[in-house]
Amino acid sequence: MPQPKVKLVVTGDDFGYCERRNQGIVDLFKAGGISNVSLLVNAVSAEHAAELAKRNHIPIGLHANLSEGLPVSQDLTGSTLLNKDGFFHGKMGFREVLQSGQLKMSEVEAELRAQVNRFCELVGHMPYHMDGHQHVHVLPEVREVFAQVLSDFGITYTRVPIEPGLKFCTFLPSHLRDFNAQVEKDALESIEVFHRHGIRWPDVYLGLSTMGKNMSVSNLKRALGFTLEASLDDGVTSQLIQSNDAATDSYRLVTAELMVHPGYPSQPHQGGCGEGPDDFSQSADRLHELNTLRDPLVLNYYRQQGILLCAFKDF
């Protein structure tokens, strides 16, 4: 490949969720369709995932989880993070408890630190990056604690989920557009916090518009087009730009992350983070993502357009 125009991290989220998910992600890594993974350390197959990552030399970071399943910390009995059954409150439940003002940030911090330590036990080194399952890391109050934990552990990179062109994706259902809009608002308000703690992230984030059945070769090309055009002065993405000295006379090298959720579908009652697998995990959407990402049309497109797949540790 000639001098690349884009360094693209393709991150397989939810590594560790179940053994079938893990194997699908590894198969896709070997096929050149992803270049990085994000590990759920409270998932039932986290140890299996960590061993696979070591064996296959897969770059790996931490997918911090405050919303699904059981906690890692042993000191959270009766915690505001947990429901009456001892599980996290769920994707929307976590947000509702946070909004009510009942969530103790000291407990959020304790759980995040416990998850970093568990990651190190499983993998043998610090995470190369750390993001939040279901984007909890950019929520109000949580982002301050999250940033402090990253700073304390010396974890340099995170994810800021603001996707260029997302507002034009009218093919997404209304409930998803509403959720994504709130995620982007929270992410935008996280920028100052992350900057203050010396945390970095790629220039461009992609993935909200390409999840599950919405992933296709044409939709990936549409999303990646924003990166290739380097349209980073739209009033939102321009605030994400950080200094990058690598450039040529005709273009500036852009860094980007594409969030994906590939894998072989979970079997009923197998996988999850202590409560069993969710619907998305058991659906054909996971396999659809896997097959799309290893499609020769996608892999050839990367080469033709000067997109080099890499990992956060390569930045």
Q: What is the pLDDT at residue 268?
A: 75
Measuring CA to CA, which residue among 13, 10, 2 is closest to residue 310?
10
pLDDT classification of 22: cutoffs 50, 70, 90 = very high
Catalytic-residue membership of 13: yes
Q: What is the pLDDT at residue 292?
A: 98
pLDDT classification of 266: cutoffs 50, 70, 90 = confident
Q: What is the pLDDT at residue 279?
A: 73
| Whether 35 contacts 260, CB under 8 Å | no
How far apart are alpha carbons 212 and 57 in whole angstroms?
26
pLDDT in tens, 125-153: 999 999 999 999 999 999 999 999 999 99
How far apart are alpha carbons 177 and 195 in whole angstroms?
27
Residue 242, token pair as written in the block: 């950080």
Mean pLDDT, rounded, for 206-219: 96
- The answer, yes or no, to whether residue 55 has pLDDT greater than 90, is yes
Mean pLDDT, rounded, for 70-78: 91
pLDDT classification of 245: cutoffs 50, 70, 90 = very low
Share of the chain above pLDDT 90, in %: 81
How far apart are alpha carbons 284 and 272 in whole angstroms?
16
| Whether 118 contacts 63, CB under 8 Å | no
| Whether 193 contacts 144, CB under 8 Å | yes
CATH class of segment(s) 6-233+251-314: alpha beta
- The answer, yes or no, to whether residue 57 has pLDDT greater than 70, is yes
- The answer, yes or no, to whether residue 7 has pLDDT greater than 70, is yes
Q: What is the pLDDT at residue 305?
A: 93
Mean pLDDT, rounded, for 233-244: 44
pLDDT classification of 3: cutoffs 50, 70, 90 = confident
| Whether 273 contacts 70, CB under 8 Å | yes
With the C-alpha atoms ordered 270, 87, 49, 57, is the resulting torsion angle positive or negative? positive
pLDDT classification of 232: cutoffs 50, 70, 90 = very low
Which entry of 13, 14, 131, 186 is annotated as an active-site residue? 13
Q: What is the pLDDT at residue 248?
A: 42
pLDDT classification of 241: cutoffs 50, 70, 90 = very low
pLDDT classification of 280: cutoffs 50, 70, 90 = low
Q: What is the pLDDT at residue 1?
A: 57
| Whether 45 contacts 69, CB under 8 Å | no
Angle in degrees, CA 149, 208, 224, rounded to 5: 105
Mean pLDDT, rounded, for 16-28: 96
Q: What is the pLDDT at residue 281?
A: 67
Judged by average pLDDT, the poorest of 131-135, 212-216, 239-243, 253-257 is 239-243
How far apart are alpha carbons 30 and 7 in whole angstroms?
19
- The answer, yes or no, to whether residue 246 has pLDDT greater than 60, is no
Mean pLDDT, rounded, for 301-309: 95
How far apart are alpha carbons 287 and 293 in whole angstroms?
10
Judged by average pLDDT, the poorest of 59-63, 76-80, 140-144, 267-271 is 267-271
- The DSSP output letter for 265 is P
